[in-house]
Chains A and B, each alone.
Chain A
Amino acid sequence: MDGLALSLLGAAAAAFLAGIGSSIGVGLAGQASTGVIGEDPEKFGKVMLLTALPGTQGIYGFVIAFLILLKLQIIGGEIPAVTTAQGGHLLFASLPVAIAGMLSAIHQGKVCAAGVQMTAKRPEESGKALILGVFVEFYAVLGFLASFLISNGVQVG
């Protein structure tokens, strides 16, 4: 298979898989938040932070996608010849952030949705709900790290 196609698959997967995860995660937390805001609009600021939290995975995925595109010089440049092996390397590089990002965003969404409900009862403790959400997020950060290190090590052209 064409190396360029493989690496583009990698870039795309990083963006869309992590993006799917974040959409689901933010969706879960957002549903819980609307319920709380319906009861008490003043809690908007607090539940908004919890709702935004599972959104970071999508950004990590996008950043990796962007770095792969930069490496391929898709954005404003001469696209170098990419061998099948190199394409495969970049595809594999995208997997950690794509898969760990997607799954962690969904689970983080669940934690945050529960955190939103907790915030409804005890608004002063919403910081603790954020901390618990970040426990899940760490594995997306590691996935991002792994993807970054792998793709950084791959030489193209």
Chain B
Amino acid sequence: MAVAPIKRIHIVCHRSMHETMLVLLQDIGVIHISPLSEDETSDLLEPVGSDTRDIEKKLAEVEGAVTYLGRFVPPGGLLSSFLGGKIELTPAQFGELSEEHRVDRILEEVKDLEQEVAELDIRTSRLNSAIYHLQPWAPLQIPLEELEPTSHTAIYGGSVPVAALDTLRENLARGGNGWVIEETSRSGGRAYIVLVELADEALDGERLLREAGFQPAAFPSEQGSVEEIVARMGQEMSALSSQREKLLAKTSELAKHRITLMAAYDSLAQAKARIEGLSEASGTKDSVVLSGWCLSEQIRKLEEALSSLSPETAVITRDPLPEEKPPVALNNKTAVRPFQVVTNLYGLPKSTEIDPTPLLAPFFVLSFGIAVGEGGYGVLLAVLSKLGLKFLRLEEGGRRLLNLLFYCGIATFIAGVLMGSFFAIDFASLPQFLQPISSLFQHLQLFNPLEDSLLFLGIVLGLGFFQVWVGVLIGGIIKWRSGDRKTALFHDGGWLVLLPLTAFLGKTIVGVPALYPWLVAAASIFVSAGFASAGVGGKIGAGIYALYGLTGFFGDILSYSRLFALGLATGVIAMVVNILASMTKGIPVIGWLIMLVVLIFGHIFNLAINALGAFIHTARLQFVEFFTKFFEGGGSHFEPFSRKFRYTTITTHHAGSSTGSKNPMVDAK
């Protein structure tokens, strides 16, 4: 039940071979690198410098290209967004794909194409905006290059507010009639005009225009009339767009090499991890010391692998010191391992604590079963999770979750049958030929939660009481073992006696009123709480506070009433689905079809929402009501230095030789 035993290790090797050693360590994935502590290091050792900037830049480039090419491959659909499927490769394929020169060539091509498309897009949008701005000038017949002042005339092209146009004309007329306004069009409340006037000071058109709110037009420096220019720009745009099409077609062609870039990314990421691993190491001129943690059971594997690499390595191991905080790995039997999902959700135990996984496992399945409490849903859940395990490619965490759901499905089936609920079918109304099945279910039914709801509530509160009591018991045992026997005996022992007796207050047990032993237990709790406090006042205060903890236990146990409500809700919603479905039977011809659709979607929806609710509520019961009695948590994950893949996975069984040992496939520099 304890967490997996762990050792502190130091690996020393010659400086020339640290790269090969890191590749090896990454392959076998058994050590959690952590730098030398202050006590372990000496003045002789210096950090082994390393720089990840170059490789990070390259990684970002590859990632960008993978994302860009991702737009040209069909999306994977909703399911893969949940599962995040990875591409399977054999080690040989992976090595071939991530060869540096291949990758660089593709990367270059993708970058060029991306840039060219971006340039085309900029040019297109420039043309677009130029055409947009020329639109109001379309009726202008004269070529734009002739809109130039001469020695005798001045010329202005631009727009004024429509409302100001008449005033402008009147003002110009006051200065004489050596001017003409050509209005080409109106749009957006502005009139687009060209004003030609004699270069005569009396006219002063420039000032009058300014007063009218004139905005000069920015004509492109092109030859010909507006119409001709717009037509030319249009042609240019369609040329650009066909060019763009060609580039995109070329890119989609390249998208089949996306897998190369993905392999390259993973290969680079591992090279980066090695550089980061090295930055945790220290060394002298000729040696490198890498320190970390290794599970005791894997030390042999590590030593064998290193000695096969070279005799010039040394592995020094020792037990962790009391003041050290080693990382934590859970260590459970196969049957219990799926429940580590729940423990991980809360956080890992400290290295000195026990692993609560096997303790919570029976309570978790039981509570989940009651919280869903629907036999049919149990079968569905168990079958679906088995199918998922068979057909989905999942990583360890996903497999554990599905295994856990499989257990939960079975528990749900049992709980559902005992509560007489199987897809909320009304067994009494089944046709005659199904009579044996319905009488079987009716025999197995223990009680009907809707009719005997108080009995149901009593059962879940009883479960709550039992789990809380077990929690206190475990807490007491832990204290007893750690040497705090007085507290374990009087405090936790007191609660263990007091809690069950509370239910019988006012009654007699084997002739003795339950009140007497209850008072003895309460006195024991009261006195033991004062052990740690100084002074009579402090002891009394601590004692009263400890007894007040009884209300906390009531709250904890009442919290299990959620199982009752959730269990009822599932059954009732299933019933509602059935009633809604049966209502559609009256619809002619397609009534049966609609009924089927309502039944399938209704029940699957109900299962999904209630299984989620049951899972989280049940997890909460473990964390808040159970863990608080004996468990603190706060350990850090044992994360071995290993190969981590983002886009691809390496299949091991295809490889001719066993993986591990000297595998040079990803030796990106």
Contacts and interface: CB of A to CB of B under 8 A. Distances in A.
Contacts of A103: none
B81 A130 contact: no
B46 to A, nearest CB: 34
B368 to A, nearest CB: 14
In this complex, the member of B82, B450, B620 whose beta carbon has the largest number of chain A beta carbons within 10 angstroms is B620
B578 to A, nearest CB: 12
Interface string B417-431: 000000000000000
B81 A41 contact: yes
Contacts of A134: 613, 616-617, 620
B394 interface: no
B345 A63 contact: no
Contact of A128 (B345, B559, B562, B579): B345
A142 interface: yes
A59 B576 CA distance: 11
Contacts of B559: 138
B549 interface: no
A110 B612 CA distance: 19
Interface stretch (A6-14, A44-52, A82-90): A44-52
B579 A75 contact: yes
B620 A52 contact: no
Nearest to A43: B81
A44 to B, nearest CB: 5
A49 B619 contact: no
B566 interface: yes
A145 interface: yes
Contacts of A42: 81, 84
Contact of A141 (B450, B565, B619): B565
A130 B572 contact: no
Contacts of B576: 62-63, 66
Contact of B620 (A75, A135, A144): A135
Interface in A32-63: 41-42, 44-45, 49, 52-53, 55-56, 59-60, 62-63
Contact of B569 (A63, A142, A152): A63
B636 to A, nearest CB: 13
A63 B346 CA distance: 32
A107 to B, nearest CB: 16
Given A42-B84, A59-B573, A131-B623, A145 B565 contact: yes
Contacts of B613: 56, 134, 137
A152 B616 CA distance: 27
Given A131-B345, A131-B619, A45 B81 contact: yes
Contacts of A154: none
A5 interface: no
Nearest to A147: B565
Interface in B336-355: 345-346
A156 interface: no
- The size bracket of the interface on B is 20 to 34
A62 B450 CA distance: 17
B85 to A, nearest CB: 11
B387 interface: no
Contacts of A55: 609
A67 interface: yes
Contacts of B569: 59-60, 63, 144
A56 B609 contact: yes
A2 to B, nearest CB: 25
Contacts of B82: 44-45
A63 B572 contact: yes
B565 A148 contact: yes
Contacts of B453: 148-149, 152
A123 to B, nearest CB: 11
Contacts of A131: 345, 616, 619-620, 623
A4 to B, nearest CB: 20
Contacts of B579: 75
Describe B's contact surface by its main secondary structure: helix
Contacts of B450: 152
In this complex, the member of A133, A142, A145 whose beta carbon has the largest number of chain B beta carbons within 10 angstroms is A145
Contacts of B568: 148
Contacts of B562: 138, 141-142
A127 interface: yes
Nearest to B562: A141
B487 to A, nearest CB: 30
A145 B561 contact: yes
A105 to B, nearest CB: 13
Interface string A103-136: 0000000000000000000000001101101110
B352 to A, nearest CB: 23
Contacts of A127: 345, 619
Contacts of A149: 453
B564 interface: yes
Contacts of B81: 41-42, 44-45
A148 B451 CA distance: 12
A142 B568 CA distance: 12
B367 to A, nearest CB: 13
A1 B274 CA distance: 79
Contacts of A137: 613, 617
Given A131-B620, A142-B561, A145-B561, A52 B345 contact: no
A114 B81 CA distance: 22
Contacts of A135: 620
B182 to A, nearest CB: 50
In this complex, the member of B562, B564, B565 whose beta carbon has the largest number of chain A beta carbons within 10 angstroms is B565
B562 to A, nearest CB: 5
A126 B453 CA distance: 35
B458 to A, nearest CB: 13
B151 to A, nearest CB: 61
A127 B612 CA distance: 11
A67 B579 CA distance: 12
Interface in B532-564: 559, 561-562, 564
B224 to A, nearest CB: 45
Contacts of A67: 572
Contact of B565 (A49, A52, A142): A142
A38 to B, nearest CB: 14
B488 to A, nearest CB: 30
In this complex, the member of A130, A137, A141, A149 whose beta carbon has the largest number of chain B beta carbons within 10 angstroms is A141
28 contacts: A44-B82, A49-B612, A56-B613, A59-B569, A63-B569, A63-B572, A67-B572, A127-B619, A128-B345, A130-B616, A131-B616, A131-B619, A131-B620, A134-B620, A137-B613, A138-B562, A138-B617, A141-B561, A141-B562, A141-B617, A142-B562, A142-B565, A145-B561, A145-B564, A145-B565, A148-B565, A149-B453, A152-B450
Given A42-B81, A148-B565, 19 more contacts: A44-B82, A53-B612, A53-B616, A55-B609, A59-B569, A62-B576, A63-B569, A66-B572, A66-B576, A75-B579, A128-B346, A131-B616, A131-B620, A137-B613, A144-B565, A144-B569, A145-B561, A145-B564, A145-B565
Across chains A and B, which 8 residue pairs bring their CB atoms closest together, nearest first?
A45-B82, A127-B345, A145-B565, A141-B565, A134-B616, A141-B562, A44-B81, A63-B572
